[in-house]
Structure 1
Amino acid sequence: MTKAELRKKYMQKRETLSQDEVSLLSDRVFDQFFQYFDLFENQKVHCFLSISSKNEIKTNNFIENLFKRKIRVFVPKIVNDQLISIEINVETNFIKNRWRISEPESNKDSGEKDFDFVITPLLYCDNQGNRVGYGKGFYDSLFGNINPNSKKIGVNFFAPNEEIDDVWEGDIPLDYLVTPTAVLSFDGARSKSTK
């Protein structure tokens, strides 16, 4: 299927989930994450802020958990049509933007490029790590500008079971995909399923 077809299909699949299902599955995704990856104090994690109206995986509990572990957290914000990375903490002020999406009040780009983990929103990911997002290209741009050793980790409610027909050479694949039941590695390491 093409990216456009997969985008439509998985947006519809996500829309069928209740808020209780979204919360439960989100918690399972991040339980998988914490079981699989070693995290320690002062690591740097870039993580998106969920858009609840799109039934995205809920990241608020995950971010709170990172704060408790004394891990530095950065979130994306679109400023002048560019994705910047803003460092947040428990005292950060958030506001609703014109789309009613919560984001940091500050527009100060951290300039950080050396993330340990980049938690990436998506609609679909195939079994090669190729990602279907919303089609704006913000994360492709981010991936091209950060340290290539940063682990790019997609999170999704759904496992990969379809090919993407129109992957192009400029697409930067994910290193891992975390679902409610498994962590899949695309870098040649063994995948770990906890079904």
Structure 2
Amino acid sequence: MMTKHELRREYLDRRRALTDIEVQESSLQIANKVLELDIWSFSNYHVFLPIQKQKEINTQYLLHILQGKDKNIVVSKSNFEDISMSHYLLTDQTKLRINSHGIPEPDQNGIPIDEKNIDVVFVPLVIADRFGNRVGYGKGFYDRFLKKCRPDVIKIGLSMFEPLESKIDMHVNDVGLNYILYGEEVIDLG
């Protein structure tokens, strides 16, 4: 069994090998899979903004769906000094900028949103397993953030790749997912 570090390295390499067209096609397929979920009675949806140089899933398609359903969209700003995230309502007035790590982030002057008010979180990942475990970039930003959310927050992992059949070796602080979506399937983990 591969370690999380080995899995991260392998799947980041695989992602870098994808063409821009493959990234866009997968991103659109995943957005269409989101429509199959029974999550539309909620108000506040947290969406990550993709790091293009890492060929992350393009969440623009997802943003369009949420806007079309008149949902509140929440985005984050990362603090690399204390490995924390602050959250802001995404509005027409929200100014985004790319930070030094390539992450699009809202300006500090946005409307802050408390983690406890978030109903659904779309979680970035490098690779996941079929048990709801994920490998991210290794800093723990999302695990810390998800622990601050309500216990009933819905956590949806978005993956470029089919989840692993074998269980990923998880750390005690890792937070599991409720759903994993990739181009071919929606995996409901309860």
Normalising by the residue count of structure 2, what TM-score does the alignment of the two structures yield?
A: 0.90
Asked if 1:49 corresponds to 2:72, the answer is no
Figure out how many residues of one structure are paired with residues of the other and give that number. 186
| 2:164 partner letter | N
What is the CA–CA distance in structure 2 between the aligned matches of 1:45 and 1:169, rounded to whole Å?
Answer: 26
Offset of 1:103 from its aligned partner? 1.3
Asked if 1:121 corresponds to 2:124, the answer is yes
SS at match of 1:144: helix
Offset of 1:182 from its aligned partner? 0.8
- CA distance 1:142–1:101, shift in 2 (3 Å): closer
Asked if 1:144 corresponds to 2:147, the answer is yes
| 2:127 partner letter | Y
| 1:117 partner letter | V
State the match for 2:113 in structure 1: 110
What is the CA–CA distance in structure 2 between the aligned matches of 1:132 and 1:6, rounded to whole Å?
Answer: 8
How much is the aligned-residue C-alpha RMSD, in angstroms? 1.7
SS at match of 1:85: strand
What is the CA–CA distance in structure 2 between the aligned matches of 1:99 and 1:126, rounded to whole Å?
Answer: 26
- Choose 10-19 or 154-163, whichever is displaced more: 154-163
% identity of equivalent residues: 32
What is the CA–CA distance in structure 1 between the aligned matches of 2:71 and 2:168, rounded to whole Å?
Answer: 38
- Choose 124-133 or 161-170, whichever is displaced more: 161-170
- Whether contact under 8 Å (1:3, 1:164) holds in the other structure is no
What is the CA–CA distance in structure 2 between the aligned matches of 1:38 and 1:121, rounded to whole Å?
Answer: 18
SS at match of 2:36: helix
What is the CA–CA distance in structure 2 between the aligned matches of 1:34 and 1:165, rounded to whole Å?
Answer: 28
SS at match of 2:73: strand
- Whether contact under 8 Å (1:67, 1:89) holds in the other structure is no
- CA distance 1:134–1:32, shift in 2 (3 Å): same
